[in-house]
Amino acid sequence: MTLPRKTLVSLADTPYYHCVSRCVRRAYLCGYDPLTTKSYEHRRSWLEIKLLKTADIFAIKLCSYAVMSNHYHVVVHIRPDLAQSWTELDVVKRWHQCFNGTLFSQRFLKGDPLSETQWKALRNDIKRWRSRLSDISWYMRIVNESIARQANKEDNCTGRFWEGRFKSQALLDDQALLSCMAYVDLNPIRVRMAATPEDSHYTSIRRRMQHLKSPNVNDDSLEVFIGTTENDIGIPFKLKDYLELVDWTGRVIRGDNRGHIDQAQPTILSRLKLNLEAWKVLTSEFETHFQCWVGNEQIVRRVCEGRGYKRQPPTRRHERLFKSP
């Protein structure tokens, strides 16, 4: 049974989530449609730009993303700490980049005086907007609605472009986060849309590699890799280790059968005590094996117990795929 979104997203459990949206029926998001002989490749840049710009407005950072032919993946890091650091003016300006706001918020931005009653109404709106600007449902809504309107206008049609709901999975521990990010970044390689990560257009890993070549270019919408730093907030791995791991995993997925691959596996696998065979399964069949919560069996059980579930979901796959070698 499909669960309400509010029961799946809990910052007390994890701030990391994997989201997927798919086009309805045979609608093409991008790429070449052999049936109609039309190319929709340009729509991939629409979506990549929208994902990045919207994340820059929201208190959300992108850990990884990949734009495919009729769907896209994104791993987000919800950052309520950023939302709480914004001033009232910051919140209103950010909200107005997505919506028109209210008469009071428009007057506030113009510098017009507001009465005490009007200020009270505006502050209630600001409180609500601050919460929404760190909500993945609102983030996905803005991204999907924008792309749907553009695509329907181009196709000269009306109606639903995306499926009714986006799919989301809570990533409960570092292993779940790492394997899901690699799974997303390697999507084009797995379906033979690209041969290497650096050739995987419209993916976060290619964008990160481009930034390494141009270190002066900042991309605030992408979450940073902080390694083992305790006080900073970000992805708890080093970028160098992650790039090495994705490159190695990509060669395994493509099935080159190079004899030295297992012997030259990245040290990050050993540090996190990731089982080699389980890692290969996770990075090629992540969506197949999990629905809502992903992580170590004990963590999944603890989350379900904390939510008062009378019938807990099966955790056999969690035990098998997240056990130590």
CB neighbour burial string for 154-192, b if at least 16 within 10 angstroms, e if fewer: eeeeeeebbbeebbbbbbbbbbbbbbbbbbbbbbbbbee
The dihedral built from the CA positions of residue 62, 67, 68 and 71, taken in this order, carries a sign that is positive
Q: What is the mean pLDDT of residues 142-162?
A: 90
- What is the spatial distance between Cα 10 and Cα 24, in angstroms, rounded to a whole number? 28
**Predicted local distance difference test score (pLDDT) of residue 302:** 86
For the chain, which residues make up each domain, given as ranges?
Answer: 10-79+135-321, 90-132
Q: What is the mean pLDDT of residues 241-266?
A: 67
Greatest mean pLDDT among 9-13, 14-18, 285-289 lies in 14-18
- What is the spatial distance between Cα 222 and Cα 229, in angstroms, rounded to a whole number? 18
**Predicted local distance difference test score (pLDDT) of residue 259:** 36
Rounding to the nearest 10 degrees, give the CA dihedral for residues 94, 98, 99, 105: 10
- What is the spatial distance between Cα 256 and Cα 224, in angstroms, rounded to a whole number? 31
Binning pLDDT at 50, 70 and 90, where does residue 69 land? confident
Whole-prediction pTM value?
0.89
Q: Which one has a higher pLDDT value, 99 or 252?
A: 99
Question: What is the DSSP pairing of strand 293-294 with strand 167-171?
Answer: parallel
- What is the spatial distance between Cα 193 and Cα 196, in angstroms, rounded to a whole number? 9
Binning pLDDT at 50, 70 and 90, where does residue 157 land? confident
Of 243, 37, 64, nearest to 171 by C-alpha is: 64
**Predicted local distance difference test score (pLDDT) of residue 142:** 96
> For domain 10-79+135-321, which architecture applies?
2-Layer Sandwich (3.30)
- What is the spatial distance between Cα 9 and Cα 6, in angstroms, rounded to a whole number? 6
| Mean pLDDT, the chain, whole residue set | 85
Contact 197, 247 (CB under 8 A): yes
Within 8 A by CB and 6+ apart from 1, the residues are none
Binning pLDDT at 50, 70 and 90, where does residue 262 land? very low
Binning pLDDT at 50, 70 and 90, where does residue 261 land? very low
